[in-house]
Structure 1
Amino acid sequence: MAVIKQLNRFCGVLVLLAVSLCGLNASRPAVNQELSTLFNELWQLDENRMRPGIDYNISVQGRASFVSPGNHVVQDHASLPLFSSVDENKLKNLTTATSFMKLLDNYEFSTGVAERVTAEEQTETNLFLDAVLQTEVMKRTHRYLVSKGKSSSNLRLFKNQLHLIWFHLYHRQRNTSPDSCGFEHVFVGETKSGTEIIGFHNWIQFYLQEKNSHLDYKGFKARMNDLPDQDDHVLSLQFSWHGLVKPVGSAFIGTSPEFEMALFTVIFLMNTERSTTVLVNIDQCQMELVVIRHGRALGTAYPKLLSSNSRHVRQHSH
């Protein structure tokens, strides 16, 4: 572990050098060591994570072709579903996952259509947040945010803060009633103007929509020399959903809802810019985590895999 930590530090130094030496690449930030340390701790604490090859199996198949936005006729480079198996018994025994899945049918997926929140849906949201707050992942996240002066130590106030960030309804499309929220956009997915898919960065929703034949996986997206592995924790994907195509979208694979919420909540609260990109090393992966605000609520959040299976460590150790 000490060697890997040293390599990660070395990796961070090299990235800093590269950024300072090459103005053209100045948009690539240095590895955020503090958040990498925290997120690795959350990774270790994520006992509700599903394990590749044990709790689920994926079949990445072919590399997806380029699709211009708005084009819905695409070549299919994956004749099989992405998820060849998921242990649904395990999924249904995870409290946060079951309460999470109950929220997925609470939204109008088309922007511009007002959201109506029923009393039952409010209860479901409350039960989900309660379940999330009981996990070690969110307890550790809460302690970190309190130590940074970004959250109250009062659990009720922290829950209200999470509710505002993730579930506060707002206008995504102008001249409409509130039609969106961070949770719907990131975890459920939306369609815009009947022409494009926006958001939709969650693997459980992907699996359920695929299983119910609402979604068709078209292939993976990656750099030319990169091939995704079955155990990659982040994938870039192309898929069609309700007759529309997402040319490229990325998601964590196998992680719990609370792990994803924790990462993006920390980045949201630790920064004030409208758009924030943080470079982190988590487990054996190097990734960018992108968070875009919508006022005091979350607009969107997603991961972008840069390298997996410690390739970034090996490259810098040669």
Structure 2
Amino acid sequence: MDRGCVIVFLALFTLSDAASQTVNQELSDIFNELWKLDVNRMKAGTDYNISLQGKAGYIPQGSRSAVDHASSPLFSLVDETKLSSITTYARFMKLLDNYERSTGVAEKVTTDEVTENNSFLDAILETTVMKRAHQYLVNKGKSRSDLRQFKSQLYYIWFRLYHRDRNGGEDSSGFEHVFVGETKFGREIVGLHNWVQFYMQEKQDLLDYKGYKSTHLPDEDDHVLNVQFSWHGLIKPVASAFVGVSPEFEMAIFSILFLTSTEKTTTAVVNLDEYQLEMVVHRQGRSIGTAYPKLLSSNSRHM
């Protein structure tokens, strides 16, 4: 297994935290199936490289400044030819400029953007990852077997607009929050849990990686770390995201977690490959409000 296929940007957790939580074996099993089916996952050292550099300091939530402990970007290499040649990535990247960054500003969705949303869903539904996720949800009685109905279900939970800031119009969606990122009240970064968006924003000099945050010195081959960054002049002390995985993999696991629970906030501890993660999904009505992983430990540390 290529450990470079996944990075998790995360908050700090101790071994006792991991040991105190019960692993959801059923979700672990299906997520590992999807992991093995994710043929579009990028390989660290081949398809992308990261540069960890210095250790970032403590920054309170809402702070606008941070000492920069990384003079270079986090991503020192990404094979953009591969990104653009894989249909799901190519269609995913077309969606990243479709949103107003600030909450409180009503989104205006054009017919072209609706077409792009549908084209992206069409692409991921053709992958083995999403086909297996669909089958699992049908077997659980959470989705219909008809593919068109499943696509409509995914559209609603990910792309339906809703109010995040009650002072404005419909200003947010699950997709925007999780994969694109938003700024709230002009004071803080919310969301932005996707590695491709992180890289693209970094490339445009809109996002500045400030360094890693962890209790131990990370190994770039380990690819499990805490990071800090600024985006459009705001600081995010810690963010969490997979890196290297395909868009369909993330859509699949978070859709499963969302649809198999009715809780306002759903958390589940899973063993995924060699990592133990706490998966978090928060609902906004019948749509996704946010979704992200938290690293509890790697197998080498909790075994």
Q: Does the TM-score normalized on the shorter chain lie above 0.5?
A: yes
Highest relative contact order (Cα 8 Å, sep 6+), 1 or 2? 2
Residue 299 of structure 1 is matched in structure 2 by 289
Aligned counterpart in structure 2 of residue 281 of structure 1, from 257, 271, 280: 271
Relative to structure 1, is the Cα distance of residues 69 and 160 closer, same or farther in structure 2, using a 3 angstrom cutoff?
A: same
Aligned counterpart in structure 1 of residue 239 of structure 2, from 249, 253, 265: 249
Deviation of 1:61 after TM superposition, in Å, equals 1.9
Is 2:123 the partner of 1:131?
A: yes
Q: Which amino acid aligns with 2:255?
A: T
Largest Rg, 1 or 2: 1
Aligned length: 290
Residue 270 of structure 1 is matched in structure 2 by 260
Q: What is the rounded CA distance, in whole Å, between the counterparts of 1:114 and 1:241 in structure 2?
A: 21
Residue 102 of structure 1 is matched in structure 2 by 94
Equivalent residue of 2:290, what SS?
strand
Aligned counterpart in structure 1 of residue 66 of structure 2, from 57, 63, 74: 74
Is 2:133 the partner of 1:176?
A: no
- Which digits, 9 at most, give the CA deviation of each residue in 1:193-250, with x for residues without a partner? 111000000000000000110000011223x2x3433345654321000000111111
Relative to structure 1, is the Cα distance of residues 170 and 232 closer, same or farther in structure 2, using a 3 angstrom cutoff?
A: farther
Equivalent residue of 1:248, what SS?
coil
Residue 207 of structure 2 is matched in structure 1 by 215
Q: Which amino acid aligns with 1:107?
A: Y
Residue segments in structure 2 that go unaligned for 5+ positions in a row: 1-14
Residue segments in structure 1 that go unaligned for 5+ positions in a row: 1-14, 19-24, 314-318
Deviation of 1:26 after TM superposition, in Å, equals 11
Q: Which amino acid aligns with 2:58?
A: F
Residue 238 of structure 1 is matched in structure 2 by 228
Deviation of 1:307 after TM superposition, in Å, equals 1.8
What is the correspondence of 1:55-66 to structure 2 with a 5 Å cutoff?
55-66=47-58
What is the correspondence of 1:10-29 to structure 2 with a 5 Å cutoff?
28-29=20-21
Q: What is the rounded CA distance, in whole Å, between the counterparts of 1:52 and 1:228 in structure 2?
A: 15
Q: What is the rounded CA distance, in whole Å, between the counterparts of 1:166 and 1:210 in structure 2?
A: 25
Q: What is the rounded CA distance, in whole Å, between the counterparts of 1:228 and 1:297 in structure 2?
A: 36
Equivalent residue of 1:310, what SS?
helix
% of aligned pairs identical?
A: 65
Q: Which amino acid aligns with 1:98?
A: A
- Which digits, 9 at most, give the CA deviation of each residue in 1:46-82, with x for residues without a partner? 0110001111000122222111122111111111110
* TM-score with structure 2 setting the length: 0.92
Relative to structure 1, is the Cα distance of residues 238 and 26 closer, same or farther in structure 2, using a 3 angstrom cutoff?
A: closer
Q: What is the rounded CA distance, in whole Å, between the counterparts of 1:251 and 1:233 in structure 2?
A: 12
Q: What is the rounded CA distance, in whole Å, between the counterparts of 1:208 and 1:187 in structure 2?
A: 12
Q: What is the rounded CA distance, in whole Å, between the counterparts of 2:148 and 2:83 in structure 1?
A: 27
Q: What is the rounded CA distance, in whole Å, between the counterparts of 1:26 and 1:106 in structure 2?
A: 38
